[in-house]
Structure 1
Amino acid sequence: MTLFLILGVVFLGVALMVILGEKFGKPLEQKDQQKYSKIIMILVFVALFAALIKALL
């Protein structure tokens, strides 16, 4: 029962983010998108490297 409650809350949260994102969100400019892409690539690399170190220790 608890699992269904958690899944329901997660589903409602995601649905709320999608609805509000479509209503109030604006498209990214090309420069902003490139900037965020570079930052996300670095963060993903750091997260994978940290997970690898954690798994080895």
Structure 2
Amino acid sequence: MSAPTIINRLAVYDGRQLLGHILESEDGSHQAVTADGEVIGTYRKRQEAARAIGGGAA
């Protein structure tokens, strides 16, 4: 089984500071990644991934 294809990459900012990215896959999952490239987790919804990156601020 291969990894899902990334169809969208969204940047998450706090003002001008980059906090991380959300990698949206064709299977509907959203992977939260810090600005340093560390994977936080995979989530069903984009907003859940943004919260994980922003510490609940999204």
For Structure 1 versus Structure 2, the TM-score category normalised by the shorter chain is under 0.3
Question: TM-score with structure 2 length normalisation?
Answer: 0.21
Question: TM-score with structure 1 length normalisation?
Answer: 0.21
Structure showing greater Rg: 1
Structure holding more helix per residue: 1
Which of 1 and 2 has higher RCO (CA within 8 Å, sep 6+)? 2
Structure holding more strand per residue: 2
